């Protein structure tokens, strides 16, 4: 019985650590291969703190020390590793695993290769767990059962913590970053900060598990945190399902059952030495991981997506009228952020090596008007957009917004000024639902800050409720309400294009840069796009700049047209002037198409 | 000053020997990364296969030279086998990079443990006698160390020649550069991948043989060269095949000069700190050019 209780206690601790891994790998999408480090950091921090400065019975503070140490470790590794778009992250975290063991073996404070023994047992204030049974009034528990109870309580708390994160605006932002970091930056958030924060949070949770492990076993040593533990975490996470809290829980219990079953089978039925049993067990487990990846790569439990309910209409509200209105009036406070737009660029140049993509473009966007940029493929149109939105730094030239040169600002900083964009290849967040795409883009979200999420839960929750209502309002406006709870990646191309507009509108910029907003859209549906884009400019007084190849769209929408070729503005004028220039149009579209414009 | 140089020199020479040895493992990793698009920890299993084959051949009474040839054949065989039996399944299903890496890591750990279970975790020596050696500028170099350096330099040169001047080598380079375009030009990816794994197995065996001939073989003998090769990739970057080689040489020097400057117990800490420093200064590698693996 004690054996079963001990295994369950260990499993409960591993569940907490695996949930930390789930936050990093599943929710955050970070290719992390050094999870045993955070478990080890938590364990060593708790052990050292308990043996040096913490009084007996300071178990919660010791757990906190574990969390802080692991989060600090994550920050130390994550900051340099994540700033270069995480391409090396997997190699770095794996190296971190190797460095950690080397450091632990060589440091005096960690007990070197012998580790640390005599770590205090669980204790709360004056009460410290001993080998004697504990009387809880209604039931008397043995020391082992008491350990299990504490571990289960921690496991329960970690469930609530993870659920709060996953279902929050912060969790949504983390998932959006996992899906497409560039789109996140285009909507005013720093992808690196988001990744770093979830890395630190997952590490902190794992650090708590490590601290609990140290107090439970009363001994820790370097061999407990080696590569085999990384493999064990990977099996537990991948088997259960890396995108789910329930999966991360089931994965641990199934793995532990297999592990113990295998130990029993090998010890009793296999004719091999005790030493060999441990090796065979590890070997088989590594192969089980490969098998799981072959048979069930998504794990036992799949990712669960929130189902957002449409808010009930208020009594007497004229709901149908609002539903069919394409350009509805906006709440006053949302329009308050709109100021006269004044984006211009002067003598803009961009070279990629020897290739001159943009060669001295001057551009001035008129407030509340639609400017179209046209020109052949490779003319430099998207490069101009990339420079205006900060994704590409100009080689030379100025971009001025409200009298201030914004060259050198990062994309999120430019977006926060009120300049936002869409992408030619749409770049919606495919594994977020349609309404989540809109919600994730909204600006004012206290709950997307992990600290405020827990420090000001009421503020976060009430704003989220308000935002959900507003997102439904936008879904109806953009005729996507029937698809609101469908994954964005499953929408048709035209619906994704429309969702990109809805997402942009949700961000509420004063200047909208639309990169081929209607490309690939069925001509029969173009009218819906015209209404929305025209509405942005005419009803909401936003400044629009769009790249477009479809001359019907340009003629229908543009107040001013720039023709760019070979990185220069070749001609500009009203759409009638530019599209009416036969020489220009023939060179661009070919003679036959030019005649039909 | 003269004395300082003389005291550093042995460490420098040993560092160079280690760096060159690590360089060919790093080159194998880089070759697979850029061509197949995965980080293959499975070459640790290949290293072990080659090392234990050499020991088994020696134990069976075969001459050392024959044992080496068999060990190289075993390395090539196991590397290609890893691809055909395991990796190809995942690659054909467009498995994400993380899955491929986890699979290769599992293969490596499984091999280590099964070898330990079957043949014990004990260290076996291939050559029992003291190796023949010479003193060069105050540094004693044995025949295995000299062989290591010579083999590494010859291998690096031979691989460069093969890639630049043979049809098969050019096909591998084409796949590494742009797999879709290579496929469009009629290069069969599967064949290019098999060749890549065969070459990787071959050069990893060339790293394993002198190493285990000098120090003996145990189930964990592949870990250090593999992990140092990984560190070399971080230091050098993966923009070009020569970058991890440069990184490996720098790492080898750091590894041994750390002993000269501090104490031997800090050797790994200093070397890996060098990795972290490189990471902070230039996350894309000291020699630049991050390459993200792509598969069609």
Confidence category of residue A73, pLDDT binned at 50, 70, 90: very high
User: What are the chain B neighbours of A90 within 8 Å (beta carbons)?
Assistant: 39, 97-98, 101
Nearest CA in chain A to B230: A91
Q: Are A102 and B269 an interchain contact pair (Cβ–Cβ within 8 Å)?
A: yes
Choose between B295 and B23: higher pLDDT: B23
Q: B117, B284, B290: which to substitute to probe chain A, counting the most A Cβ within 10 Å? A: B117
> φ, ψ for residue A483 (rounded to 5)?
-105, 10
Cβ pair A214, A220 in contact under 8 A: yes
Q: Are A91 and B39 an interchain contact pair (Cβ–Cβ within 8 Å)?
A: yes
Confidence category of residue A330, pLDDT binned at 50, 70, 90: very low
Cβ pair B267, B42 in contact under 8 A: no
CA distance B52 to B63: 15
Gap between the terminal Cα atoms of chain B: 57
Choose between A90 and A38: higher pLDDT: A38
Q: Are B231 and A95 an interchain contact pair (Cβ–Cβ within 8 Å)?
A: yes
User: What are the chain A neighbours of B114 within 8 Å (beta carbons)?
Assistant: 279-280, 283
User: What are the chain A neighbours of B227 within 8 Å (beta carbons)?
Assistant: 95, 98
Summarize pLDDT for A160-194 with one digit per residue, the tens. 999 999 999 999 999 999 999 999 999 999 999 99
Nearest by CB to A272, which of B107, B117, B231? B117
Bridge-based pairing state of the strands A511-515 and A419-421? parallel
User: What are the chain A neighbours of B86 within 8 Å (beta carbons)?
Assistant: 290
CA distance A166 to A171: 4
Query: Is B262 touching A (CB cutoff 8 A)?
Result: no
Summarize pLDDT for B232-272 with one digit per residue, the tens. 888 887 777 788 888 899 888 888 888 887 777 777 777 77
Query: Is A238 touching B (CB cutoff 8 A)?
Result: yes
Token pair belonging to B270: 């200093």
- pLDDT of residue B196 exceeding 80, the answer is yes
Nearest by CB to B110, which of A33, A94, A286? A286
Q: What is the pLDDT of residue A9?
A: 96
Nearest CA in chain B to A98: B227
Query: Is B102 touching A (CB cutoff 8 A)?
Result: yes
Nearest CA in chain B to A234: B102
Q: A26, A28, A75, A94: which to substitute to probe chain B, counting the most B Cβ within 10 Å? A: A94
pLDDT averaged over chain A?
89
Token pair belonging to A549: 């190849």
Gap between the terminal Cα atoms of chain A: 84
Measured CA to CA in angstroms, residue A140 lies from A132, A133, A527 at distances of: 10, 6, 73
Cβ pair A547, A385 in contact under 8 A: yes
Nearest CA in chain A to B224: A98
Beta-bridge partner residues of A546: A372, A514
- pLDDT of residue B57 exceeding 80, the answer is yes
CA distance A168 to A363: 41
Confidence category of residue A321, pLDDT binned at 50, 70, 90: very low
Q: What is the pLDDT of residue B254?
A: 86
Angle, helix A493-507 to helix A526-538, in steps of 10 degrees? 10
Q: Are A293 and B99 an interchain contact pair (Cβ–Cβ within 8 Å)?
A: yes
Cβ pair A472, A459 in contact under 8 A: no
Nearest to B124 by CA among B220, B219, B217, B224: B217
Indicate if the alpha-carbon torsion angle B67, B72, B75, B80 is positive or negative: negative
Whose tokens are 């802080």? That residue is A68
Q: Are B265 and A106 an interchain contact pair (Cβ–Cβ within 8 Å)?
A: yes
Confidence category of residue A311, pLDDT binned at 50, 70, 90: confident
Helix (H) or strand (E) holding A105: helix A89-106
CA distance A582 to A588: 10
Measured CA to CA in angstroms, residue B290 lies from A92, A509, B125, B238 at distances of: 14, 34, 40, 6
Averaged over B21-26, what is the pLDDT? Answer: 92
Does some domain include residue B83? yes
Averaged over A524-539, what is the pLDDT? Answer: 93
User: What are the chain B neighbours of A284 within 8 Å (beta carbons)?
Assistant: 110
Does some domain include residue B91? yes
DSSP state of A488: G
User: What are the chain A neighbours of B233 within 8 Å (beta carbons)?
Assistant: 91
Q: Are A293 and B90 an interchain contact pair (Cβ–Cβ within 8 Å)?
A: yes
Nearest by CB to B290, which of A87, A272, A290? A87
User: What are the chain B neighbours of A83 within 8 Å (beta carbons)?
Assistant: 283
Q: Residue A241 — left, alpha, or beta (φ > 0 → left; ψ -120 to 50 → alpha)?
A: left
Does some domain include residue B74? yes
- pLDDT of residue B19 exceeding 50, the answer is yes
Q: Are A103 and B269 an interchain contact pair (Cβ–Cβ within 8 Å)?
A: yes
Choose between A3 and A165: higher pLDDT: A165
User: What are the chain B neighbours of A80 within 8 Å (beta carbons)?
Assistant: 276, 279-280, 283
DSSP letter for each residue of chain B:
-HHHHHHHHHHHHHHHHHHHHHHHHHHHHHHHHHHT-S--TTHHHHHHHHHHHHHHHHHTT--HHHHHHHHHHHHHHHHHHIIIIIIHHHHHTT--HHHHHHHHHHHHHHHHHHHHHHH-S--B-S--SPPPEEEETTEEEEHHHHHHHHHHHHHHHHHHHHHHHSHHHHHHHHHHH-HHHHHHTT--HHHHHHHHHHHHHHHHHHHHHHHHHHH-B-TTTTHHHHHHHHHHHHHH-SSSTHHHHHHHHHHHHHHHHHHHHS-GGGHHHHHHHHHHHHHHH-TT-TT---------
The sheet that has A560-565: what strands, in order across it?
A: A419-421, A511-515, A543-547, A370-374, A560-565, A568-573
Count of beta carbons in the 10 Å neighbourhood of residue A8: 18
CA distance B207 to B229: 11
User: What are the chain A neighbours of B282 within 8 Å (beta carbons)?
Assistant: none
Q: How far is A175 from chain B (nearest CA, A)?
A: 17
Query: Is B103 touching A (CB cutoff 8 A)?
Result: yes
Count of beta carbons in the 10 Å neighbourhood of residue B262: 12
Whose tokens are 């209105």? That residue is A325
Architecture category of domain A341-596 in CATH = 3-Layer(aba) Sandwich (3.40)
CATH 3.40.50.300 in chain A, residue ranges:
341-596
Summarize pLDDT for A102-155 with one digit per residue, the tens. 889 988 899 999 999 999 999 898 888 877 888 877 888 888 899 999 999 999
Q: Are A91 and B233 an interchain contact pair (Cβ–Cβ within 8 Å)?
A: yes
Confidence category of residue B45, pLDDT binned at 50, 70, 90: very high
Averaged over A490-511, what is the pLDDT? Answer: 96
Cβ pair A124, A219 in contact under 8 A: no
A–B: how many Cβ contacts below 8 A? Answer: 113
CA distance A270 to A279: 13
Q: Are B283 and A80 an interchain contact pair (Cβ–Cβ within 8 Å)?
A: yes
Cβ pair B295, B189 in contact under 8 A: no
- pLDDT of residue A242 exceeding 70, the answer is yes
Summarize pLDDT for B113-124 with one digit per residue, the tens. 999 999 988 999
Containing domain of residue B205, as a range? 24-120+127-218
Nearest to B244 by CA among B258, B228, B256, B223: B228
- pLDDT of residue A319 exceeding 50, the answer is no
- pLDDT of residue A214 exceeding 90, the answer is yes
- pLDDT of residue A449 exceeding 70, the answer is yes
Q: How far is A296 from chain B (nearest CA, A)?
A: 12
Which residues have C-beta within 8 Å of that of residue A188, sequence separation ≥ 6? A412, A415, A416, A420, A443, A507
Indicate if the alpha-carbon torsion angle B49, B50, B55, B56 is positive or negative: positive
CA distance A82 to A93: 11
**Total structural domains in chain B?**
1
Count of beta carbons in the 10 Å neighbourhood of residue B136: 12
Confidence category of residue A328, pLDDT binned at 50, 70, 90: very low
- pLDDT of residue A332 exceeding 50, the answer is no
Whose tokens are 């009120």? That residue is A418
Q: Are A286 and B98 an interchain contact pair (Cβ–Cβ within 8 Å)?
A: no
Count of beta carbons in the 10 Å neighbourhood of residue A268: 7
- pLDDT of residue B2 exceeding 80, the answer is no
Indicate if the alpha-carbon torsion angle B249, B252, B256, B261 is positive or negative: positive
DSSP, collapsed to helix, strand or coil, labels residue A474 as helix
The 3-state secondary structure of B214-255 reads HHCECCCCCHHHHHHHHHHHHHHCCCCCHHHHHHHHHHHHHH
Q: What is the pLDDT of residue A56?
A: 85
Does some domain include residue B235? no
Query: Is A80 touching B (CB cutoff 8 A)?
Result: yes
DSSP state of A433: B
Q: What is the pLDDT of residue B203?
A: 94
Nearest by CB to B109, which of A92, A103, A231? A231
Summarize pLDDT for A243-297 with one digit per residue, the tens. 999 999 999 999 999 988 988 888 888 777 877 888 998 899 899 889 989 998 8
């Amino acid at each position: 019985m004690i054996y079963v209780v001990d295994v369950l206690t260990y499993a409960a601790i591993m569940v907490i650590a695996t949930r930390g891994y789930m936050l990093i790998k599943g929710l955050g999408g970070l290719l992390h291969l050094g999870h045993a480090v955070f478990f080890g950091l938590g364990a060593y921090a708790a052990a050292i703190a308990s043996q040096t400065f913490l009084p007996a019975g300071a178990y919660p503070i010791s757990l906190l020390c574990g969390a802080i140490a692991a989060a600090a470790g994550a920050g130390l590794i994550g900051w340099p590793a994540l700033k270069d778009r995480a391409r090396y992250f997997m190699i770095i975290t794996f190296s971190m695993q190797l460095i950690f063991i080397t450091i632990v073996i060589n440091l005096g404070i960690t007990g070197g290769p012998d580790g640390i023994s005599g770590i205090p047992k669980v204790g709360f204030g004056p009460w410290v767990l001993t080998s004697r049974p504990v009387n809880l009034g209604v039931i008397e528990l043995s020391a082992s059962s008491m350990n299990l109870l504490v571990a289960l309580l921690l496991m329960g708390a970690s469930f609530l913590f993870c659920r709060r994160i996953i279902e929050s605006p912060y969790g949504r932002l983390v998932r959006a970053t996992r899906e497409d970091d560039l789109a996140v930056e285009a909507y005013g958030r720093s992808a690196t900060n988001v990744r770093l924060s979830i890395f630190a949070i997952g590490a902190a949770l794992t650090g708590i598990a490590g601290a609990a492990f140290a107090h439970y076993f009363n001994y820790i040593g370097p061999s407990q945190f080696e590569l085999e533990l990384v493999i064990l975490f990977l099996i537990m996470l991948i088997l259960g399902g890396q995108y789910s809290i329930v999966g991360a829980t089931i994965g641990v219990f199934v793995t532990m059952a297999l592990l113990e079953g295998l130990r029993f089978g090998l010890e009793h039925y296999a004719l091999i030495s005790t030493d060999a049993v441990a090796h065979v067990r590890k070997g088989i487990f590594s192969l089980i991981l490969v098998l799981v990846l072959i048979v069930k790569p998504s794990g036992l439990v799949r990712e669960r997506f929130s189902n957002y309910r449409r808010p009930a209409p208020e009594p007497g509200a004229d709901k149908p009228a609002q539903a069919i209105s394409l350009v509805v009036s906006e709440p006053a406070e949302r329009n308050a952020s709109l100021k006269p737009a004044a984006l211009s660029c002067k003598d803009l140049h961009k070279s990629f090596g020897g290739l001159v993509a943009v060669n001295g473009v001057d551009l001035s966007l008129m407030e509340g008007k639609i400017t179209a940029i046209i020109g052949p493929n490779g003319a430099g149109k998207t490069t101009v957009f990339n420079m205006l939105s900060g994704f590409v730094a100009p080689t030379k030239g100025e971009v001025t917004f409200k009298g201030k040169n914004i060259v050198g600002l990062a994309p999120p900083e430019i977006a926060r000024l009120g300049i936002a964009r869409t992408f030619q290849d749409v770049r919606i967040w495919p594994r977020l639902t349609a309404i989540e795409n809109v919600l994730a883009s909204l600006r004012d979200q206290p709950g997307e800050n992990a600290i405020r999420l827990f420090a000001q839960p009421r503020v976060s929750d009430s704003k989220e409720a308000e935002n959900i209502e507003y997102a439904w309002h936008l879904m109806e406006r953009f005729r996507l309400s029937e698809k609101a709870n469908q994954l964005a990646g499953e929408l048709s191309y035209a619906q994704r294009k429309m969702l990109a507009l809805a997402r942009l509108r949700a961000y509420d910029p004063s200047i909208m840069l639309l990169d081929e907003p209607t490309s690939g859209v069925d001509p029969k549906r173009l009218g819906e796009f015209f209404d929305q884009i025209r509405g942005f400019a005419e009803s909401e007084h936003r400044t629009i700049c769009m790249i477009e190849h479809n001359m019907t769209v340009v003629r229908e929408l543009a107040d001013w047209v720039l023709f760019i070729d070979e990185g220069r503005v070749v001609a500009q004028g009203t759409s009638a002037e530019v599209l009416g220039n036969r020489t220009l149009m023939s060179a661009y579209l070919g003679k036959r198409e030019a005649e039909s414009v | 000053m003269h004395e300082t140089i003389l005291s550093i020199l042995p460490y420098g020479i040993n560092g160079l020997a280690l760096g060159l040895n690590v360089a060919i493992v790093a080159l194998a990793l880089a070759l697979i990364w850029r061509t197949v698009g995965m980080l293959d920890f499975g070459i640790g299993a290949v290293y072990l296969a080659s090392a234990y084959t050499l020991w088994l051949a020696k134990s069976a009474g075969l001459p050392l030279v024959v044992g080496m040839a068999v060990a190289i054949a075993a390395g090539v065989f196991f590397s290609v086998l890893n691809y055909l039996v395991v990796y190809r399944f995942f690659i054909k299903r467009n498995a994400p990079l993380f899955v491929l890496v986890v699979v290769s890591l599992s293969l490596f750990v499984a091999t280590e443990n099964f070898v330990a279970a079957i043949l014990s975790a004990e260290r076996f020596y291939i050559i029992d006698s003291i190796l023949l050696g010479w003193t060069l500028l105050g540094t004693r170099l044995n025949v295995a160390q000299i062989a290591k350096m010579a083999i590494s330099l010859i291998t690096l040169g031979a691989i460069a020649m093969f890639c630049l001047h043979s049809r098969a080598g050019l096909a591998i380079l084409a796949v590494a550069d742009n797999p879709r375009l290579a496929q469009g030009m009629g290069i069969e990816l599967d064949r290019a991948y098999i060749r890549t794994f065969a070459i990787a197995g071959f050069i990893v065996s060339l790293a394993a043989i002198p190493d285990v001939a000098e120090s003996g073989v145990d189930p964990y003998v592949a870990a250090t060269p593999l992990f140092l090769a990984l560190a070399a990739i971080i230091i050098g970057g993966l923009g070009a095949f020569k970058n991890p080689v440069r990184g490996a040489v720098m790492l080898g020097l750091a590894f041994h000069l750390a002993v000269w400057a501090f104490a031997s117990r800090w050797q790994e800490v200093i070397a890996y700190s060098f990795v972290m420093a490189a990471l902070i200064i230039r996350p894309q590698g000291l020699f630049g050019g991050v390459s993200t693996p792509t598969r069609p």
